Amino acid sequence: MNTSPDYRNFYYPPGGILIWIIILVELLTFGAALVGLAVVSREDPASYHRSRLLLHPFYGALNTVFLLTSGYFMAMSVHWAKQNRWKKSAKQIPWALLGGFLFVVLKSVEYYEKWVAGLTLGYDTFFNFYWLLTGFHVVHVLIGLGILAGMYAGIKRKGEAFQLTDLEAGAHFWHMVDLIWLLLFPMLYLIL
């Protein structure tokens, strides 16, 4: 049985304080970049709008579905772990991994299309933001996939001895990746 401490106060939130500090720093970083995008786009809104129209909202929407579905399976993994049903918890993680993997595959297709069309870093200010923001996000997705794979291996190896706080921390990181995409998708694909 999982014997991790059950501290229910501000200093010991689910997953531990460190993951929440990381999430806060990441959200502030992406938030500042998105504010920068919004401010700079006001200097030449027509140019930003033309560049945004070169993106495929369908790709962005499908990637949103992939990440939200993946996040659902990660939430279900935590749900089953809290009920001490670790085998059911472990069965959810491959589905979460699949959603993240599909996100990376589709984002790679989109990157390839942009690259071939010459819409690379340096093409214009909009695409500078696009490549930097989505590229930094993809790095977070890849890190998250590594975390999820590590948690899956840990649960399979340790079973009930796996720490719920570790699973919660990994799930919180993964949900942060979802949240960041939910901010990037409309700002890059729909609004400007």
Each residue's pLDDT expressed in tens, for the chain with a length of 192 residues? 444 555 555 556 666 678 888 889 999 999 999 999 989 988 888 888 899 999 999 999 999 999 999 999 999 999 999 999 989 999 999 999 999 999 999 999 999 999 999 999 999 989 999 999 999 999 999 999 999 999 999 888 877 777 888 898 899 999 999 999 999 999 999 885
What is the total residue count of the chain?
192
Predicted confidence at residue 9, as pLDDT, reads 55
Determine the structural domain holding residue 125 and report its residue range: 17-191
Contact 175, 144 (CB under 8 A): no
Q: Is residue 77 part of a domain?
A: yes
**Residue 28 burial (CB count, 10 A):** 10
pLDDT score at 22: 87
How many domains is the chain partitioned into structurally? 1
Q: Is residue 10 part of a domain?
A: no
The tokens describing 15, both together, are: 């997953």
Domain-located, residue 114? yes
SS3 43: coil
Residue 83 DSSP label: T
61 vs 110: CA distance, rounded Å: 12
CATH number at residue 186: 1.20.120.80
Does residue 7 belong to any structural domain of this protein? no
pLDDT of residue 1: 47
pTM above 0.75, yes or no: yes
